[in-house]
Amino acid sequence: MSRTRVIACLCALCLVLTACAPSFSVFGPANRPYREQTLSGSAGGGKVLMISIDGLISEHGSQGFLRNRPSTVESVATQLRLARRDKDIKALLIKVDSPGGTVTASDVIYHEIMAYKKVSGVKVVTAMMGMAASGGYYVSLPADRICALPTTITGSVGVIFLEPRVAGLLDKIGVGVDVSKSGAQKDMGSPFRPATEEEKRLTDELVKAEAERFTGLVRERRRLSPEAMATVATARVFTAEQARKLGLVDSVGYLENAVAEARSLAGLPPDARVVSYRRDPAPEASYYSAGMEAQQTPPALLSLGLEGLLPPRAGLYYLWMPGLAR
């Protein structure tokens, strides 16, 4: 049987299961409440909550026939709402591994963390993993201390406007698009025609405004020297050690060092508990275990492995994705 026919059969089977048994789930109950899981430590009297921010930061969840995953914004906001009810949480450790994402999602997460910090009075530490660039750095800014791995890539403090173009392809296959609009710029950013010089100017203004917001927060939160700020504003990425010398991060080490920093800042003992929220607590979870939403998301029945090859939708991004910037 050909691969195409196999895929078609799988899709048909899923449709039948969905239609015939809407309450049935081969993955088990999907609405179990979140439960706290201890990752390390045993001392009472206070604990550190670890929240993971992984992958593309977006305000849009992935909802489809084969996969359902809440957005990054929803995931973080849900965990912080749970944390507000627990007065034993004395420190928040944000584990970031992300190239960034949309301007809005990055800013909302920054706002949510700052609001929780203000209400709770907890200390916040960011632990950067392989990448914490652009929006990944933006969501790190609420931290009292930022720790990076020796191999972390960070920085990219800037904005990119992604605008796919398909006009040339449509011309080749003889397809056109008719547009009726109420104003000259109503279809600005349309993929079906080249941008005008005026539209390019307006887009540059949007990019500049959002970039100034980003650099303004970096200036406010990190207190960089004018020379360091000028280097950061080029929107380039940095190694962990380069970022430390510039003042973008405070220390370079490993995740256990970030945990120790969080305990110390909060005045907790060295063996204070580190916890996370999960729907299905793993028997032997560690600091590197998947975060809350990865735990709750069932595996896709069908995966073509194309997610990383598809460009994001048009718009403004705090994102480091050099393959799309050429």
Catalytic residue among 118, 181, 186, 208: 186
75, 106, 134, 140: the catalytic one is 134
Is-catalytic flag, 186? yes
Distance CA 181, CA 50 (A): 49
Q: Are 135 and 102 in contact (CB under 8 A)?
A: yes
Helices (H), the chain: 3-20, 72-84, 103-120, 135-138, 167-173, 197-222, 226-232, 240-246, 255-265, 292-296
**Is residue 222 a contact partner of residue 247, using CB atoms and an 8 Å limit?**
yes
DSSP strand pairing (43-54 vs 89-98): parallel
* Catalytic residue flag (residue 52): no
Three-state DSSP state, 91? strand
What is the spatial distance between Cα 91 and Cα 77, in angstroms, rounded to a whole number? 16
Measured in degrees and rounded to the nearest 5, phi and psi for residue 202 equal -65, -40
- Cβ atoms of 36 and 89 within 8 Å: the answer is no
* Single-letter residue type at 17: L
Q: Which residues are catalytic?
A: 134, 186
